[in-house]
Structure 1
Amino acid sequence: MASTEHRTGETDAVVREWRAEDGWGVLDSAETPGGCWAHFSHIAADGYRELHAGQRVRLEWESPGQDGYDFRAVLVVPRR
């Protein structure tokens, strides 16, 4: 059962999947077991914002999460 306690953190993560047509995806890290839900509006980038499977990012997250995930991104910074 997911905890309702509000927690936050920051970590490195890898994009598991990105649904460009829907504007969201799932990021994986040791600190966000089961995946972290991310929306395009939380990506720190200019222009069209999307991610790609396998891409490394810096992730700021919070819980409880969203849409069945225990964690939700609040800021995603793509690694170059």
Structure 2
Amino acid sequence: MTHIWQKPILIENNTFRFRGVNYTIIKEIDSWVEAGAWWQGEPILKFLLVKTEPYGLFEIALTPKGQSILYQSYD
């Protein structure tokens, strides 16, 4: 099951905080680029699928302006 969050996060030293828990990225599983609705001015986003400790599987979107967005999580 997936949960869509679309929440901004701050990643420092491969660690981010979400819902009161610090997650450390231990592996980048996949990455891809999505253009979105470019005709409406949406930016191109780079997505990372990461595994974390404590255990989690998250998609993180990186914007052209350097922002990180926790896009979704997997159970």
The alignment's TM-score, normalised by the length of structure 2, stands at 0.36
Q: TM-score, normalised by structure 1?
A: 0.35
| Structure ID, larger Rg | 2
